[in-house]
Chain A
Amino acid sequence: MIAGPGPRSRSSRIPQWVALGVLALFLAGAPSVVDSFTLSQILTKALWLGIAAASLIFLSSYGGMISLGQTGIYAVAGFTMANLVHAEGGKNLGWDPVAATAAGIVVATAFGLLCGAIASRSYGIYFLMITLAISVIVFYFFAQVTTLSGYGGIRSVTPPAVIGNPVLNPLPLYYTALVASILVYVGIRYLARTPFGIALQGIRDDPARMQALGYNVALHRALAFGVGAFIASIAGILSVWYTTQVSPGGVNVAQTINILIIAVVGGLYRLEGAWIGALVFSLIDNYSRVWLPNVGDWLGPERFETVIGVIFLVIVLASPGGLVGIWESVWARRNRAMRGPVEGSGTVADVVDEAVEPHAVQSRR
């Protein structure tokens, strides 16, 4: 299962954090390059969607668990926060928005831990279905308990003073989402190197062996799910500030599938893929309404779902590593062409495949 060292890139000496820092600076300067609509409707949206997808990719990439429950969890966070602050509809309890944010995250994470405990003994397809059921339950819960969901949504949710009104001034929310994204990314990377993270990856690769080694597999998976829930709840809070409202219609099965699509398109086993996928999704969502030509009934500005579905299908068929995986294999092929075959490694496809779906490769053996 361990392939050779793999193609080395020339700039392997540049420390990772420098590259990340440059990127962060660049994104910080984005507001002066793009107009406020793109900033808000494309970039900010991509940032919080990316965090939601990152929670899914964290679980799939490091934990081997593909979860469809992230939307349900971020709905819990969003609705909790919206009910606690001043808003139209819902409980309207008038809490301080910052305290309400913390409460929302805590409640959603606790809910995630509970769900994780329930789902921790299931694998593969069964895990997928339990998590789908969780999202569906949350959707129907908020759709039916109208005192908590405000009869069609809780509107004009008050964000913290530092955010202000995201529609009139999108900058503070953009920076908040950017900082949150960076923290999430760095945090996950850090977590992956801790004993917990390494144990989790071991469980991803071979749960039976880890159990034999004395690790409590179910506990680790449940905790991992809780971490994923924490990340998803951040995305949920940001989404409510972004749309200024939260409603059951925004967290239905379609949205669950959208998050999955974003994660897969970006790269289900690459953390960066979360934001790449989210950016592609936001761009297509917005510009397809303008650019899509009318081809009878098959294609037209309203057929965004068809377009994104086709892209999703192509990615799943051609490159399980998503867009990031495509780039990686292209880059690797280029390096290999320059250097000739590297000793000890298999073909590029093997290298890529091993990285993108280690579990599947194992099960094929």
Chain B
Amino acid sequence: MLRPERNVGFLRLLATAVLGLLAVAACNSTTPSTTTTSTVIKIGILSDCLGDFGSFFNDDLGGALAVLAAHYGGKASGPLPKDGMTGAVIAGKQINIVGFGCSDSTASKAIEETRRLVEQLGADIMIGPLSGDEGIAVANYAKTNQPNKTFLNGISGAQDATLKVQAPNFFRFNPDGAQWSSGLGAYAYNKLGWRTAAVIGDDYAFPYTSLAGFIAEFCAVGGNVTQRVWPPLGTTDYSSFVAQLNPTTYDGLFVGVGGAGLITFLKQYQQVNGSLKTQHIMGNTFWPDPQLLHAIGTPMVGAVAASGIAADDTSAQTTAYKNELAIYPATQKDAASVFTLGYWSAMTALGLALTAVNGDISGNQKALQTQLAKTVVDGPYGKISLDSNRQAVFDNWIVQITAPATSGGDPGIHTILRIPNVDQTFGGFFSPTTPAPDRTNPTCTKKTPPPWVGNEVPVTFGP
């Protein structure tokens, strides 16, 4: 038991410690300017530097900062994007990157980092976050707590972040997970002849959305989804789930397993089922990512996936985009990554809008927000505009994995179809009142197919 005299000692210690620490905190705390100074615009960029997507941190930042370097005079402070950038000027206003938020794909950390950037460091405009759950949380925060600041999404792809939350100051210039799967359902039914399909995806928001896009379209044109398998959070071993997928019971399998698990899953699926029959397997937007394609390998040749990126496009547009990224060579190598593109689109849109309003962020940034809603980004892979809910409408691409150009190299990507003007609602299939995608939703119903079914445009790029 603690004796009285020691108790006082502790309290004295406590008082001294708190005094000291408060003094430190007071000296170091900066009062964020609530009034915008007329010559500086503060921007914060939030991404994941930990967790599953932590390795894309520099790609995300690089995509955004490269825009400032290429068009607005930004100078890199170091070889890596996370070293920072100074000297950018848009419409006569100095751009001050107040900080980079480092989250770990959880909503709570994303909110903490957003608050640090906005409330402590005084960001006027935020770009980010990265993951699905984070996007919904940040959109809510923007709507409820910071209506006078502007938030542009990084690459978060959960449907609800715009469809349900509808924050007037949250702008998403990248498609949601469902949009990224557009075109695949109809392709499976019409071109591959699938009538029944099984789906597998990780048990959290983004795969729900990604698979929902496939299911909505596949079922709308008449297909039937017979099995849905959801490996829970933290699965490292997919063997039990592979066991549940019996290829004789379905025409095709749509794989929405992401990142880390995809390699393991495909490996184990092949071991149990023999070779991967690529007419009967299909992937979502995770597949054409360069870092993951490096690991997938030649057995996947022939498989079809969807992508927001037509990686083999060599048009002037795409070349210009890749050149813009030259300031960060590592990021430029990953130009075909959706992560880079998402952050690039956000910063491009912001630059265009700020220029159009002459850098005016006064009056609760209303002028900027109105302008952003009308901004069209002429991206490397098509135009990106916003719908009435500030959600991107864009062109999706169906790609096919091709044999490596050199033996021992990575497989390539051959774009075969363009899916024009994909909107978030899938032509009315999804609305603010439809249940959010989850383990059982959307249900498989035959409906009017989305407007792009039947309007796919075959494309061929390059030699």
A touching B, CB within 8 angstroms? yes
A contact residues vs B (CB 8 Å cutoff): 6, 8-9, 11-12, 14, 16, 19-20, 22-23, 26-27, 30, 33-38, 40-43, 88, 140, 143-144, 146, 151-153, 155-156, 165, 167-168, 192, 201, 243-245, 247-250, 270, 272, 275-276, 279-280, 283, 286-287, 289-290, 301-302, 323-324, 327-328, 331, 355
In the complex with contacts A12-B5, A151-B438, A167-B115, A23-B13 CB distance below 8 A? no
The residue on A at minimum CB distance from B3 is: A6
| Inter-chain contact A328/B120, CB cutoff 8 Å | no
Q: Which residues of B from 1 to 58 have beta carbons under 8 Å from A?
A: 1-15, 17-19, 21-22, 24-26, 28-32, 49-50, 54, 57
B2 adjacent to A249 (CB under 8 Å): no
Could you list some 13 contacts between A and B, CB below 8 A? Answer: A20-B11, A23-B18, A26-B19, A35-B31, A88-B140, A151-B204, A156-B140, A245-B107, A249-B107, A270-B2, A286-B120, A302-B50, A302-B57
Across the interface, name the chain A residue whose C-beta is closest to B5. A12
B115 to chain A, nearest CB (A): 7
Q: Find the B residue at minimum CB distance from A189.
A: B7
* Chain A residue nearest to B51 in the complex (CB): A249
Q: Which of A23, A41, A283 contacts B115 (CB 8 A)?
A: A41
- 18 new A-B contacts, CB < 8 A, other than A19-B12, A155-B140, A249-B106, are A16-B4, A20-B11, A27-B18, A33-B26, A34-B25, A34-B26, A40-B115, A152-B132, A167-B119, A167-B145, A244-B111, A247-B106, A250-B108, A289-B99, A289-B116, A290-B99, A327-B17, A328-B9
Inter-chain contact B21/A283, CB cutoff 8 Å: yes
Q: Determine if B130 is an interface residue (Cβ-Cβ < 8 Å).
A: no
With contacts A12-B8, A245-B107 taken as known, whether A156 is within 8 angstroms of B144 at the C-beta atoms is yes
> Would you call B59 an interface residue if the criterion is a C-beta within 8 Å of the partner chain's C-beta atoms?
no
Binding site secondary structure of chain A: helix
Instruction: Tell me whether A146 and B9 are in contact (CB under 8 A).
Output: no
* Contact between A16 and B29, CB atoms less than 8 A apart: no
> Contacts A41-B120, A143-B233; is A243 near B102 (CB within 8 Å)?
no
Query: In whole angstroms, how far apart are the Cα atoms of A11 and B102 in the complex?
Result: 47
Q: Please name all residues of chain A whose beta carbon is closer than 8 Å to the beta carbon of B61 when the two chains form the complex.
A: none
Known: A34-B26, A152-B136. A165 touches B144 (CB 8 A): yes
Q: Mask for B196-210, Cβ within 8 A of A = 1, else 0?
A: 000000011100100
> What are the residues of chain B within 8 A of A286 when measuring CB–CB?
116, 120
Complex alpha-carbon distance, A283 and B20, angstroms = 12
B137 part of interface (Cβ distance < 8 Å): yes
Closest CB of chain A to B23's CB: distance in Å? 9
Nearest chain B CB to A36's CB is how many angstroms away? 7
Measured CA separation A16–B140 after assembly (Å): 46
Contact status of A16 and B116, CB under 8 A, knowing A35-B30, A152-B132: no
Chain B hits for A280, CB < 8 A: 21
In the bound complex, CA of A140 to CA of B235 (Å): 12
Contact yes or no, A287 B28, CB < 8 A: yes
| B458 at the A interface (CB under 8 A) | no
CA–CA, A1 and B151, complex, Å: 62
Give chain B interface residues in 89-128, CB to chain A under 8 Å.
Answer: 99-100, 102, 105-109, 111-112, 115-116, 119-120
Say whether B133 faces chain A, with CB atoms less than 8 Å apart. Answer: yes
Are B12 and A11 in contact, with the CB atoms below 8 A? Answer: yes
CB neighbours of B24 from chain A (8 A): 283
Chain B, residues 64-86, CB within 8 Å of chain A (1/0): the string is 00000000000000000000000
Complex Cα gap A286–B21 (Å)? 13
A355 to B5, CA, bound (A): 14
Is residue B436 within 8 Å, beta carbon to beta carbon, of the partner chain? Answer: yes
Closest 9 CB pairs of A and B: A249-B106, A152-B133, A250-B108, A19-B11, A12-B5, A37-B120, A167-B145, A38-B29, A302-B49
The digit string for B423-463, where 1 denotes a CB below 8 A from any CB of A, is 00000000000001011000000000000000000000000
Q: At the interface, yes or no: B259 with Cβ under 8 Å from chain A?
A: no
Contact residue among A9, A144, A151, A272 (Cβ-Cβ distance under 8 Å from B14): A272
Q: Is A153 within 8 A of B15, CB to CB?
A: no
Given A23-B11, A290-B99, A331-B9, decide whether A165 and B145 contact each other with a Cβ distance below 8 A.
yes
A11 vs B10: C-alpha distance when bound (angstroms): 12
How far, in whole Å, are A19 and B10 apart by their CA atoms in the complex? Answer: 10
Is B329 engaged at the interface, CB distance under 8 Å to the other chain?
Answer: no
B54's nearest neighbour on chain A, judged by CB, is: A302
Q: Check B108 against A247 for contact (C-beta < 8 Å).
A: yes
Whole-angstrom distance between the alpha carbons of A335 and B355 in the complex?
68
List the B residue with the shortest CB-CB distance to A30. Answer: B22
CB distance B11 to A9 under 8 Å? no
Contacts of A40 in B (CB 8 A): 115, 119
Residues of B near A9 (CB, < 8 A) are 5, 8-9
B133 contact from A14, A42, A247, A331, Cβ within 8 A: A247
Whole-angstrom distance between the alpha carbons of A341 and B116 in the complex? 51
Asked if B25 and A14 sit within 8 Å, CB to CB, the answer is no
Closest to A335 in B: B9
Indicate the member of B105, B108, B141, B158 with the most A CB atoms within 10 Å: B108
